[in-house]
Amino acid sequence: MQAPLDIRGFKLFQGYLDPQAQAEILAAIQAVVAAAPLFSPMTPFGKPMSVRMTSAGNYGWFSDRRGYRYVTEHPSGTAWPPIPDSVLDVWRDVTELDRLPDCCLVNFYGPAAKMGLHQDRDEADFSWPVMSISLGDDGLFRIGNPTRGGKTEAVWLHSGDVVVMGGAARLTYHGLERIRQGSSRLLPDGGRINLTLRVVE
Ligand code: SIN
Ligand code: MN
pLDDT in tens, 47-97: 999 999 999 999 999 999 999 999 999 999 999 999 999 999 999 999 999
165, 174, 180, 193: which to mutate for ligand 1, most atoms within 8 A of CB?
Answer: 174
Return the sign of the alpha-carbon dihedral for residues 78, 72, 177, 12: negative
Instruction: Please give the distance of CA 110 from its chain centroid, rounded to a whole number.
Output: 15
DSSP tag of 79: B
Mean confidence (pLDDT) of the chain: 97
Nearest Cα residue to 194 out of 143, 132, 140: 132
Predicted confidence at residue 2, as pLDDT, reads 86
Predicted confidence at residue 173, as pLDDT, reads 98
pTM more than 0.85: yes
Ligand 1 center from residue 194 Cα (angstroms): 6
Residues with CB under 5 A from ligand 2 (ion): 120
Rounded CA-CA distance 25/84 in Å is 8
Q: Which domains does the chain have, with CATH numbers?
A: 5-198 (2.60.120.590)
